[in-house]
Structure 1
């Protein structure tokens, strides 16, 4: 039987943070941390408007180049 592929919609499920001892402030801070770690703010900002396929392709290539340069810097620093 074929396995169903997950779409982006499936990956962006609800984020839940328990409120312990009615400490809402701490729960909000925890939620902010979780959202930041998962990159949801960046994703929501990116999806706010329609992005043409050509623009998306360009953005992805720029991001890949940044990652490649960052990895090069890290590998050069670890050599010393």
Structure 2
């Protein structure tokens, strides 16, 4: 991953780097790897993540088909 520093503005480059790392999920992965995760806990977590992804996909499909109202715009 590469971030360019323009006009010696290191603070802005750090902000850009943190945003890129956040988007890639590096911080979340570091947090999960901090401690050992039992295989049963890992299976439960992955199953929960899969359920959330499936619900999100179903919700988006229903919104596209007009079955439910779309997200509110602020």
Q: TM-score, normalised by structure 2?
A: 0.83
TM-align CA RMSD: 1.0
Listed as ranges, the gaps of 5+ residues in structure 1 are 1-14
Question: Which structure would you say has the larger RCO, counting Cα contacts within 8 Å and 6 or more residues apart?
Answer: 1
The whole-number CA distance in structure 2 between the counterparts of 1:63 and 1:37 is 17
Aligned length: 66
Listed as ranges, the gaps of 5+ residues in structure 2 are 67-74
Q: Please state if 1:17 is matched with 2:3.
A: yes
- Matching of residues 1-80 of structure 1 within 5 Å: 15-80=1-66
Q: Deviations over 1:1-58 (max 9, x none)?
A: xxxxxxxxxxxxxx44222221011101110111011000100011110001110011
The whole-number CA distance in structure 1 between the counterparts of 2:18 and 2:31 is 15
The whole-number CA distance in structure 1 between the counterparts of 2:12 and 2:25 is 20
Q: TM-score, normalised by structure 1?
A: 0.77
